[in-house]
Amino acid sequence: MNPRSRKAWRYGTFAVLLSLTLGSTAQTSLRWNTPHPSAPSHATAPQTTTSLAPVATPVVAAVIPARATAPLAPGFDVRHFEGMAQQLVANRRVPGLAMAIVHNGQIVSARGYGITDVRAGQPVDAHTVFRLASLSKAFAGTMTGLLVNDGILRWDSKLVDYMPTFRLSDPYAARQLTVADLLSHRVGLTHNTFDRDLEANVDYRTLTQRLANAPMNCAPGSCYGYQNIAFSLIGDVVFAATGDFYGQEVQRRIFKPLGMNDASLGLDGIESSPRWARPHVRGRGGWVPLMPKPSYYQVAPAAGVNASASDMAQWLLAHTGHRPDVLPAPLLATLHQPLVNTPSETRGSAWRRQRVSSAGYALGWRVYDYSGHRVVFHGGAVQGYRGLVAMLPEQDLGIAILWNSESSLPTGMLPTILDRALGLPTQRWLDVDFEDPGLYADTDTANPEGNVGSSAASASASPH
């Protein structure tokens, strides 16, 4: 990162901390612990902590200074991206795709492309429901944050206060694990603990009990290890704190007030949707549709949400700060503030290697330094479904892309859109002709009431 970008990054963090301080009366500290290289890997003693950000419990009304929004770079044209999506579903490179883009509090695109099922599919539209997989984690962080706002929970609430029988292999560690640790993957376990057993249909309750014997890499709060099963313990905390099931609380506190009218949780939720996209895997003859795999629906906070492009547009508006009646600004600042470094995120895909210089995990969200610009992000994948969500706070831009196949091809759309928004040098992240005006989708996108239009790529709606 060049000195100017590094300075801007530091100032951005300071602004977040300042807004939280102004908006708080009772505060606790979220922890960003960096263990010394010589520290033991097992959790046997209290860890020294440093305060990254004060967290309001509860958050109270405050005057948050208006943010200065940077303009999008010249040449940013939503029609280009709609055309790219349309080409991706042509000739069934991917069966179906949905995309939502919001900017400055407006829905500028929310539509579907392709078909729901290659065997007997309907066109995908703005209300076609897709499985979100790990994009669900941001809903869990947000749900918890609303309870913190209400004073029902604290970020430093101990898990054992709500689940007295919870155990880890280190008894002290189990007693120290907090709500914030769960949501930032700082439980101390190795990455993806017992995910293979979950995929083999071992039930969730059995797997949570097995955590008592799982090896640990560090004390809670002091290192990063991505989880699905342990992460989903937050659903048990929500139930213990409210007396309502996690799914009911998400419906009541998030879906309904935000107008996410197509959204649901669980296998029953997607299968009862009026229009939903079937998952697809590769077969010898091309894409093969399946029924949704039920295993990861067991861990609803980690992977249980289903939603449409229309829903994701409302979700993006809320997380870009345009629904303070539901998600107040100090809460958003807390949810988006990274708590632990995730350096592995700077590797992997080509766009991460070239664009992401540092990365961290917040409360259900990833946060990247993307060529000197802050990007709030998450990806998700489960059999036959993939998705990406990203926000550029400086430009007040939000993007969600969902598709119903295991193809990685559409991932190239995200860095393409981010690069265009920021005016970065052109990279060919996606093998489509970006400038071909014949690829543009219809331009009816959104009306002032937020009802969005839809279109499907005609090239993909008939057999080939």
Residue pair 103/395 in contact (Cβ under 8 Å)? The answer is yes
- Which pLDDT score, from 0 to 100, does residue 433 have? 55
For residue 68, name the pLDDT band (cuts at 50, 70, 90).
Answer: low
Given a cut of 50, whether residue 114 has pLDDT beyond it is yes
- Which pLDDT score, from 0 to 100, does residue 66 have? 53
Residues 370-386 have a mean pLDDT of 98
Given a cut of 50, whether residue 412 has pLDDT beyond it is yes
Given a cut of 90, whether residue 141 has pLDDT beyond it is yes
> Of 23 and 390, which is predicted with more confidence?
390
Q: Torsion-angle region of residue 414: left (phi > 0), alpha (psi -120 to 50) or beta?
A: alpha
> Distances from the Cα of 294 to the Cαs of 247, 268, 298, in angstroms?
16, 10, 7
Residue pair 278/383 in contact (Cβ under 8 Å)? The answer is no
pLDDT in tens, 255-305: 999 999 999 999 999 999 999 999 999 998 899 999 999 999 999 999 999
CA proximity to 11, closest of 55, 72, 103, 19: 19
- Which pLDDT score, from 0 to 100, does residue 67 have? 63
For residue 414, name the pLDDT band (cuts at 50, 70, 90).
Answer: very high
> Of 430 and 33, which is predicted with more confidence?
430
Given a cut of 50, whether residue 183 has pLDDT beyond it is yes
Tell me the average pLDDT of the chain.
Answer: 84
- Which pLDDT score, from 0 to 100, does residue 120 have? 87
Given a cut of 90, whether residue 445 has pLDDT beyond it is no
Given a cut of 80, whether residue 331 has pLDDT beyond it is yes
Of all residues in the chain, what percent carry a pLDDT higher than 90? 76
Predicted TM-score of the model (pTM):
0.83
Of all residues in the chain, what percent carry a pLDDT higher than 70? 78
Residues 64-82 have a mean pLDDT of 84
What CA–CA distance (Å, rounded) separates 172 from 306? 37
Residues 337-362 have a mean pLDDT of 96
Given a cut of 50, whether residue 432 has pLDDT beyond it is yes
- Which pLDDT score, from 0 to 100, does residue 51 have? 28
Given a cut of 90, whether residue 12 has pLDDT beyond it is no
Residues 88-105 have a mean pLDDT of 95
Reduce the secondary structure of the chain to three states and give it as a string: CCHHHHHHHHHHHHHHHHHHHHCECCEEEEECCCCCCCCCCCCCCCCCCCEEEEEECCECCCCCCCCCCCCCCCCCCHHHHHHHHHHHHHHHCCCEEEEEEEECCEEEEEEEEEECCCCCCCECCCCCEEECHHHHHHHHHHHHHHHHHHCCCCCCCEHHHCCCCCCCCCHHHHHHCEHHHHHCCCCCECCCCCHHHHHCCCCHHHHHHHHHHCCECCCCCCCCCCCCCCCCHHHHHHHHHHCCCHHHHHHHHHHHHHCCCCCEEHHHHHHCCCCECCCEEEECCEEEECCCCCHHHHCHHHHCEEECHHHHHHHHHHHHHHCCCCCCHHHHHHHCCCCEECHHHHCCCHHHHHHEEEEEECCCCEEEEECCEEEEEEEEEECCEEEEEEEEHHHCEEEEEEECCCCCHHHHHHHHHHHHHHCCCCCCCCCCCCCCHHHCCCCCCECCCCCECCCCCHHHCCCC
